[in-house]
Amino acid sequence: MNELNYLSPENGEFYELETGLIAYRDNKKDYGRVAVLRMFPLEYKDEFLSVRTENYERRDKNNEIGIIRKLSAFNALQQEIVLRELEKRYFVPEITKVESIEEEFANSIWKVETTAGKAEFTVNDMGSNLLNLGNNKIMLTDVFGNRYIIPDITKINDKAVKVIEIWI
């Protein structure tokens, strides 16, 4: 199928399973638990979302049910359900304060406050694990693959800026 199948509030609805997981049904079928993926995760948070069946056993069988062009087209409850699912799938806490950065050769150990709470993580090889997203926005990936966003580097302390400016 080469055409884009947009999902709209008219042809289907998201609902929550009693266990808190997201599910989707349309006029024809109830798909049960689904996955909602961002097509442009670094650019759009609530636009261009791909809704797919989720099968852990057979990832190659996860088919696309359709695309949400703009989540805002759905009602508040539906938006909330989808956003909650997206927050679960994309866990990228925003760094609100850098307490310290300890540099040790290829490693840098960050102690920070984030939107998800206090965290300590290690980034190695900043050259490949620091991504400049433009507009002073930075994404760091730690040794385990966890991601952290600095929404505006001009708003964090100078010492931290000095450490990362080499890589920007």
CA-wise closest residue to 46 among 13, 22, 68: 68
Sole binder of another protein in the list 67, 92, 131, 161 (CB under 8 A): 92
Q: Which of 124, 136, 151, 161 binds another protein (CB under 8 A)?
A: 124
| 161 scored as a contact of another protein (CB under 8 A) | no
Strand partners for 101: 110
DSSP 8-state code for residue 39? S
What are 41's two structure tokens?
A: 């995760």
127 near another protein, judged by CB under 8 A: yes
Q: Among candidates 28, 73, 25, which has minimal Cα distance to 53? A: 25
Using CB under 8 A, count the residues that bind another protein: 43
Binding mask 26-65 for another protein (x = CB under 8 A): ------xx-------x------------x-xxx-x-----
Q: Do β-strands 117-124 and 130-134 pair in parallel, antiparallel, or remain unpaired?
A: unpaired
Among 31, 147, 151, 161, binds another protein (CB under 8 A): 147
Q: Tell me the two tokens of residue 24.
A: 């989707």
Q: Per rule CB under 8 A, is residue 106 in the interface with another protein?
A: yes
Q: How far is CA 38 from CA 14, 51, 77, 113, 136, in A?
A: 16, 9, 19, 26, 22
Our finding on whether 105 is near another protein (CB under 8 A) is yes
Q: In the complex, which residues of this chain contact another protein (CB under 8 A)?
A: 17-21, 32-33, 41, 54, 56-58, 60, 87-93, 104-107, 114, 116-119, 122, 124-125, 127, 142-147, 162, 165-167
